[in-house]
Amino acid sequence: MTPIEKVHGTVLEQRSPSAIAVKNVLFATDFSATSEAAFPYAVAICRRFGATLHAAHVLSDASLLMMTGGVDYVSMSTIYEDAHTEARGKLDQICARVEGIEHHNYVRHGQVWKNLAGIIDEGKIDLIVVGTHGRSGLGKLLLGSVAEDILRHASCPVLTVGPKVSGRAKLPALPAHGRDLAPVELELQQIVFATDFAQYSLYVAQEAVKLAEEFRARLTLLHVIEDYTGLGSRPDLMEDSICRLKSLIPNHNALQYPAETVLEFGDAAHCILKVASDREADMIVLGARASGQGGTTHVPWSTAHDVIAQAHCPVLTLRS
């Protein structure tokens, strides 16, 4: 029987020690509304695992030049000092909305990823939380330059919160002013892990299982067959795919519910989003691996991008 404890006269179930170690969480922000939407998740994760929150903003040269408005009588040094002070004040305001969480703020100047990489190393970051706007655009502006750089380069897991995160999967916004009297809690009831059976899928699947164990959530393992024109000559393909999905689940797991294995046919991003929507998923888990091209996901980058930009729940990307 699971031990229980009593808090303020209420009987609560006492959680066993977590198999997931999250000690330092980096919240990267450009102060946009989409960045702000990711902040409650960073806070909730810190509360859940007793982690330290690291909030960071990087002042790029492009943003500083835009502040001049074409007027050249203000020196760049003055612009930088003013921007630095303003950014520091905004970070202080953001972090002042939460209590009981140790936090550190960083304002840097220069290339975004280079500065974030330094903070990740300096703060021993275990998880990065970032908001994405998901708008159409050119090149790396598709997800927002900060989010795209992080996804392509970060060696630690990244939790992205897109513009369509809504319903019960969306955490309530923290108050803009005053104390956080009602702590935001992270609840995961449904998790979808999508894989194309890349080399490190087993590792990512095991992390998805740990996540489901921690939150006592239902776990769906999904594989999408995009090219199914040869099914007639490969009658064993479907059975083989289901067996491969089942093999990703460790025999010694402590899942509250039996894991579900799902096989879909068609466009990978569409199928992943549909399965997640049908199950009202609270989180989608994808794998990623390093490459000479700056990092690609297990599934093609275009698929991962579409999932992250259109998902109605946060997407956790783990690098193997």
Three-state SS string over 83-114 comes to: HHHHHHHHHHHHHCCCCCCCEEEEEEECCHHH
pLDDT at position 288 over 80: no
**What is the CATH T-level fold of the domain 187-320, as seen in this structure?**
Rossmann fold (3.40.50)
Decide if pLDDT at 36 tops 60.
yes
- How much is the pLDDT for 4? 37
Task: Say yes or no to pLDDT of 107 above 50.
Answer: yes
Nearest 5 degrees, angle CA 150-CA 184-CA 316? 30
Name the residue ranges covered by the structural domains of the chain.
20-186, 187-320
Q: What is the pLDDT of residue 292?
A: 44
**pLDDT confidence of residue 176:** 61
Q: What is the DSSP letter of 312?
A: S
Structure tokens at 84: 């630095």
Average pLDDT over residues 49-73: 75
d(CA 299, CA 308): 12
- Rounded to two decimals, the pTM is 0.84
Alpha helices in the chain (DSSP H): 33-49, 61-68, 76-95, 112-123, 145-153, 201-215, 237-247, 268-278, 301-310
* Identical fold, 20-186 and 187-320: yes
Per-residue pLDDT for 136 more than 60? Answer: no
Q: Give the model's pLDDT for residue 43.
A: 93
CB atoms within 10 A of CB 11: 8
Specify the 3-state DSSP secondary structure of 196. Answer: coil
pLDDT, tens digit, for every residue of 160-211? 998 888 655 567 776 665 555 456 788 899 999 999 898 888 999 999 999 9
pLDDT value of position 72: 54
pLDDT in tens, 251-278: 888 999 999 999 999 999 999 999 999 9
Average pLDDT of span 308-318: 92
**CATH H-level superfamily of 20-186:** HUPs (3.40.50.620)
Computed over every residue of the chain, the mean pLDDT equals 81
